[in-house]
């Protein structure tokens, strides 16, 4: 039972990292960024390329190499996120909200099949984190799991501080609250939006590298399902709310673990979505969300 909780929290921390980007982007420009899962995928591939380039890394240096790859992948995906926003989303600001949804799906196709064109076979990550396991209260916990969760939590805390304590963070919140007002008060809206995309995409990229290093396999469609789940997690937590996204990710991980255990893997997603629907009918704004009113 406790093992289930641990399993759920571990998967949930991945969902949370990806959900953060979803939620940040939504909070600030009300866009469901369907290409976000593919940024996660590209993060994994960027890490793969960096690590393959380094060549045979010895075990002693693998941690250093991994951290290097993590940082490099975050830079690449962050930059890519900014580029995508600039090319496919910014020209459509002021257009119907759903128009951007279409370009997001278009970007998603382009990224997925751009990578697939280089070879659709799954790749094996050159460096893998393996470590011994401990039994704590009957739960198997590995050092690798702890390390990855620590990185995830660290990134989330850093983001939370950034949004709540810095002037850029304040500007982000201001735009989310009242874009026109923010503009009039001298906030450089475009710059702040670019920065939001950079941070959200970098977090997804980090999650991608971590997934590659832990699970060992990466492929061009790996972002699709997790993107869908991150969206679910973000909504569960109250979309647009950063702490909500973290909470939603963990909650989704737990729900899945329990669903798979008690109903079997084939009914897991039915269980998860059913809980989500019931939950939203009771509390229509998610865990921490505030009531938003906008139209399609």
- The residues in 61-80 that bind another protein, with binding defined as CB under 8 A, are none
Q: For residues 159 and 203, is the Cβ–Cβ distance under 8 A?
A: yes
117 binds another protein (CB under 8 A): yes
Q: Among candidates 123, 124, 127, 125, which has minimal Cα distance to 62?
A: 127
142 binds another protein (CB under 8 A): yes
**Measured between alpha carbons, how far is 189 from 147 in angstroms, rounded to an integer?**
36
What is the chain's alpha carbon radius of gyration, rounded to the nearest angstrom?
A: 19
Q: For residues 174 and 182, is the Cβ–Cβ distance under 8 A?
A: yes
Residue range at the interface with another protein (CB under 8 A); choices 68-76, 159-167, 195-203, 210-218: 210-218
Near another protein in 172-201, by CB under 8 A: 175, 178-180, 183, 189
Q: How far is the CB of 96 from another protein (least distance, A)?
A: 7
Residue range at the interface with another protein (CB under 8 A); choices 70-78, 102-110, 154-162, 164-172: 102-110
42 binds another protein (CB under 8 A): no
Q: How far is the CB of 45 from another protein (least distance, A)?
A: 14
Sign of the dihedral defined by the CA atoms of residues 42, 121, 151, 22, in that order = positive
Q: For residues 119 and 209, is the Cβ–Cβ distance under 8 A?
A: no
Near another protein in 222-281, by CB under 8 A: 222, 224-226, 228, 231-232, 235, 239, 256-258, 260-261, 264-270, 273-274, 276-277, 280-281
> Considering CB under 8 A, how many residues would be counted as binding another protein?
98
**DSSP conformation class of 126:** S
Element (H, E) at 237: helix 222-237
Q: For residues 208 and 44, is the Cβ–Cβ distance under 8 A?
A: yes
Residue range at the interface with another protein (CB under 8 A); choices 58-66, 69-77, 154-162, 287-295: 287-295
Q: How far is the CB of 277 from another protein (least distance, A)?
A: 5
107 binds another protein (CB under 8 A): yes
- Three-state DSSP at 260 gives helix
């Amino acid at each position: 039972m406790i093992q289930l909780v641990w399993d759920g929290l571990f998967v949930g921390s991945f969902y949370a990292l990806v959900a953060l980007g979803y939620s940040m982007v939504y909070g600030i420009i009300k866009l469901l960024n369907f290409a976000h899962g593919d940024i996660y995928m590209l993060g994994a591939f960027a890490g793969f390329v960096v690590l393959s380039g380094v060549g045979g890394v010895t075990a002693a240096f693998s941690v250093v190499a991994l951290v290097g790859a993590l940082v490099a992948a975050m830079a690449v995906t962050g930059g890519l996120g900014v580029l995508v926003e600039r090319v496919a989303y910014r020209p459509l600001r002021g257009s119907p909200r759903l128009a951007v949804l279409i370009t997001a799906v278009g970007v998603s196709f382009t990224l997925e099949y751009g990578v697939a064109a280089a070879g659709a076979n799954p790749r094996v990550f050159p460096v893998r984190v393996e470590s011994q396991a401990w039994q704590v209260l009957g739960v198997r916990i590995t050092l690798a799991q702890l390390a990855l969760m620590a990185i995830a939590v660290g990134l989330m805390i850093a983001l939370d501080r950034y949004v709540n304590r810095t002037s850029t963070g304040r500007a982000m919140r201001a735009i989310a609250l009242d874009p026109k007002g923010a503009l009039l008060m001298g906030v450089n809206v475009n710059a702040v939006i670019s920065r939001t995309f950079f941070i959200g995409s970098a977090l997804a990229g980090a999650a991608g590298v971590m997934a590659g290093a832990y699970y060992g396999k990466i492929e061009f469609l790996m972002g699709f399902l997790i993107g869908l789940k991150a969206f679910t997690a973000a909504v569960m937590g109250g979309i647009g709310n950063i702490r909500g996204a973290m909470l939603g990710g963990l909650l989704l991980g737990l729900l899945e673990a329990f669903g798979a255990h008690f109903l079997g893997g084939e009914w897991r997603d039915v269980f998860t979505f059913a809980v989500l629907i019931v939950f939203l009918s009771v509390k229509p704004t998610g865990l921490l969300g505030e009531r938003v009113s906008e139209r399609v």
